[in-house]
């Protein structure tokens, strides 16, 4: 079913039908009604390829994320999709699996009009960012969320990483930890840096100085990361507290603890960024920093759509920060509170 057939059915020209469908002012109400009725009857749908080709817009955005195996990116997708559905946009999803090369390949796929805009949370391994700059050069709106590239001039939606890092560390300190390790993704990620700075300043406050042997930079590869964490916990001077900067590393930490027969929280206390919003299902000994993932998705998508719609206007919503929540669970009584 296409315009031509529809026009024939109605004894109208193709362009009249096309205009009627887009509610043009130059078509009489009567014909509009007739067209709409017929279109519905025959279940006519505009061919997105023809229309996209002609209008040079796709009504589609791309979301590029490392993975969907944790409870951060899931809700983010939810948030993005909810806004996109409102706006009548379609959402393409691409996973980098933390591999820089895949990220580059994916970005290259998007250079030729397939999408009207891109949202990305960069891979842990990405260091060169020319692919992203190239995309921006082509005039394709770009929004970063969570894992951002500081030096690229594009809107960014993040959480209050520095502060969260400090709060998390303080929480361990309050629970009696002395040797607190920071387990994180590569140092090049801004989330790593900021969370670490919060961690370091919290320690500095109580006059503990930086101990590089307690700072672990993983790289996103599950096996390698597990080895690193195992080594950390096997040492006789192992930490009594661990601040895991991302959920996945906390999970690995838990697995290693089980393997080494270390009791949490008796032997080691753990706190992590995590969105397992399943309070009841959580191990009661785990305190989490929870990011408002759904809101981050919605916010980033809203900004992207503003950019798409106002394309050409030189307006730049710079960084947007959405606060995360501390959900306390280390202490014996199961209380939970906000920061």
List interacting residues with DNA (CB under 7 A): 2-4, 11-16, 18-19, 21-22, 25-31, 46-47, 50-51, 53-56, 112
Q: Find the binder of a second copy among 14, 36, 92, 317 (CB under 8 A).
A: 92
Neighbours of 34 (CB within 10 A): 16
Q: Of the ranges 107-115, 176-184, 229-237, 310-318, which one interacts with a second copy (CB under 8 A)?
A: 107-115
Strand 325-327, strand 287-290: pairing:
antiparallel
Q: Find the binder of a second copy among 114, 204, 210, 234 (CB under 8 A).
A: 114
What does R_g of the chain's alpha carbons equal in angstroms? 25
Q: Find the binder of a second copy among 100, 113, 162, 295 (CB under 8 A).
A: 113
d(CA 305, CA 83): 9
User: If binding is defined by CB under 8 A, does position 31 make contact with a second copy?
Assistant: no
Q: Find the binder of a second copy among 5, 15, 24, 47 (CB under 8 A).
A: 47
Q: What is the DSSP string of 41-55?
A: HTT----HHHHHHHH
Contact residues for 278 (Cβ-Cβ < 8 A; gap 6+): 71
25 binding partner (options a second copy, DNA, none; Cβ < 5 to 8 Å by kind): DNA
The single residue listed with the structure tokens 């990620």 is: 189
> Which residue, 250 or 326, is less far from a second copy as judged by CB?
250
Query: Could you tell me the smallest distance in angstroms from the CB atom of residue 131 to DNA?
Result: 20
Query: Could you tell me the smallest distance in angstroms from the CB atom of residue 170 to DNA?
Result: 56
Q: What is the DSSP string of 44-110?
A: ----HHHHHHHHT--SEEEEEES-SSSTTHHHHHHHHHHHHHHHT-EEEEEE-TT-HHHHHHHHHHT
* Consecutive H or E run containing 199: helix 190-205
173 binding partner (options DNA, a second copy, none; Cβ < 5 to 8 Å by kind): none
User: If binding is defined by CB under 8 A, does position 284 make contact with a second copy?
Assistant: yes
278 binding partner (options a second copy, DNA, none; Cβ < 5 to 8 Å by kind): a second copy
> Which residue, 191 or 276, is less far from a second copy as judged by CB?
276
Residue count of the chain: 339
* Consecutive H or E run containing 320: strand 320-322
Tokens, residue 212? 């590089």
Q: Which residues make up the interface to a second copy (CB under 8 A)?
A: 1, 43, 45-50, 52-53, 58, 60, 67-71, 73-75, 77-78, 81-82, 85, 90-95, 102, 108-109, 111-114, 134, 250-251, 253-255, 257-258, 264, 274, 276, 278-284, 286, 334
């Amino acid at each position: 079913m296409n315009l031509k057939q529809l026009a024939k059915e109605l004894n109208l020209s193709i362009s009249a039908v096309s205009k009627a469908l887009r509610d043009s002012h130059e078509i009489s109400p009567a014909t509009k009604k007739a067209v709409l009725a017929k279109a519905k009857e025959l279940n006519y749908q505009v061919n997105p390829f023809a229309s996209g080709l002609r209008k040079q817009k796709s009504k589609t955005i791309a979301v590029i994320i490392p993975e969907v195996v944790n409870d951060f990116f899931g809700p983010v997708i939810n948030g993005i999709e909810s806004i996109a559905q409102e706006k009548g946009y379609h959402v393409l999803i691409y996973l980098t699996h933390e591999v820089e090369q895949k990220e580059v390949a994916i970005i290259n796929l998007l250079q030729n009009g397939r999408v009207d805009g891109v949202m990305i949370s960069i891979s842990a391994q990405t260091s060169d960012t020319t692919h992203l700059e190239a995309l921006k050069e082509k005039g394709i709106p770009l929004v970063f969320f969570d894992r951002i590239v500081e030096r690229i001039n594009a809107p960014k939606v993040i959480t209050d990483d520095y502060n969260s890092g400090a709060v998390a560390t303080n929480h361990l300190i309050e629970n009696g930890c002395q040797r607190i390790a920071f387990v994180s993704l590569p140092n090049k990620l801004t989330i790593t840096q900021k969370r670490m700075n919060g961690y370091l300043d919290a320690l500095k406050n109580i006059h503990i100085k930086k101990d590089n042997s307690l700072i672990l930079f993983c790289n996103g590869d599950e096996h390698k990361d597990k080895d690193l964490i195992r080594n950390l916990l096997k040492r006789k001077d192992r930490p009594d507290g661990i601040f895991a900067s991302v959920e996945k590393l906390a999970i690995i930490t838990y697995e290693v603890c089980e393997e080494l027969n270390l009791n949490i929280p008796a032997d080691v206390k753990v706190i992590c960024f995590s969105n397992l919003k399943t309070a009841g299902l959580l191990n009661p000994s785990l305190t989490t920093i929870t990011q408002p993932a759904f809101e981050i998705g919605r916010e980033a998508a809203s900004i992207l759509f503003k950019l798409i719609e106002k394309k050409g206007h030189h307006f730049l919503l710079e960084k947007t920060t959405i606060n995360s929540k501390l959900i306390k669970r280390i202490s014996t009584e199961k209380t939970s509170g906000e920061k």
